[in-house]
């Protein structure tokens, strides 16, 4: 007797795709809820809704960003075919700004720039996770492919600018409250505002690297996509 074929649902590729589909779906639902909540609140309360954006959706945003760290594991384990360093830089930007800057300073949470930043993040993620979710199950649309590979071109630099402005606005509060500033052995100390100022410069260097990578990826995907349609 020949080897017995495994059922489709037991095959490693099927399980991997099923897992990725569920992951993308959960992330899409989370970011869609955040974006919908922000939109409804803005049309209901106007500019007043921007002040307490973090109080309304901050917890869900933190959850989505925390779960997104799994993507580094996906890439490292070969579950996702992507480059590790560019994704690491993008996730690091968000983790630092969201958890170390915004979450730690209540005064920063009330700034308009936090609302703007969350809008940019969720716009990118809703489109990206929609595209990824459908790609995993073999569904592709020319419009969605083009949109997902083009939307980031204006939005990603705006995200970095909003992140930088958020950090800039947080500096006086870190200086006043001394958050994260600490003394270390040998009469040395870590003054966190200086760390943030150094990170501001690194942020734009990382943006240049990530932008070039995403542009090359976009060119390769859009070059291959018309050939797939003809096959």
- Which amino acids are annotated catalytic? 156, 163
Cβ 229 vs Cβ 149: under 8 Å:
no
Q: How far, in Å, CA of 121 to CA of 15, rounded?
A: 29
Q: How far, in Å, CA of 155 to CA of 148, rounded?
A: 11
Read off the tokens for 91. Answer: 């996730």
User: How many Cβ atoms are within 10 Å of 222's Cβ, its own excluded?
Assistant: 14
Q: How far, in Å, CA of 190 to CA of 72, rounded?
A: 29
Read off the tokens for 131. Answer: 């595209």
Total length of the chain: 231
| Alpha carbon distances (Å) from 176 to 46, 170, 171, 173 | 31, 10, 9, 5
Q: What angle, 0 to 180 degrees and rounded to 10, lies between the N-to-C axes of helices 12-45 and 112-136?
A: 150
DSSP sequence for 97-113? IIIIIITT-HHHHTSHH
Cβ 219 vs Cβ 153: under 8 Å:
no
């Amino acid at each position: 007797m020949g080897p017995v074929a495994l059922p489709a649902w037991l095959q490693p590729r099927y399980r991997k795709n099923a897992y990725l589909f569920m992951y993308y779906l959960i992330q899409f639902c989370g970011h869609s809820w955040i974006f919908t909540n922000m939109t409804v609140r803005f049309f209901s309360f106007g500019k007043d809704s921007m002040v307490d954006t973090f109080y309304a959706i901050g917890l869900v945003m933190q959850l989505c960003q925390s779960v997104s760290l799994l993507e580094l594991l996906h890439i490292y384990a070969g579950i996702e075919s992507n480059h590790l360093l560019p994704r690491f830089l993008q996730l690091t930007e968000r983790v630092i700004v969201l958890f170390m800057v915004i979450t730690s300073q209540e005064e920063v949470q009330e700034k308009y720039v936090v609302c703007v930043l969350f809008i940019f993040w969720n716009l990118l993620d809703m489109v990206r996770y929609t595209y990824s979710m459908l790609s995993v199950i073999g569904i592709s649309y020319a419009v969605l492919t083009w949109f997902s590979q083009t939307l980031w071109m204006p939005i990603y630099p705006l995200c970095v600018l909003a992140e930088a402005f958020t950090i800039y606005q947080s500096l006086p509060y870190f200086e006043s409250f001394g958050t994260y500033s600490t003394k270390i052995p040998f009469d040395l100390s870590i003054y966190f505002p200086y760390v943030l100022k150094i990170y501001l410069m690194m942020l734009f260097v990382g943006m240049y690297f990530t932008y070039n990578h995403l542009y090359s990826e976009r060119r390769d995907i859009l070059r291959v996509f018309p050939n797939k349609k003809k096959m």
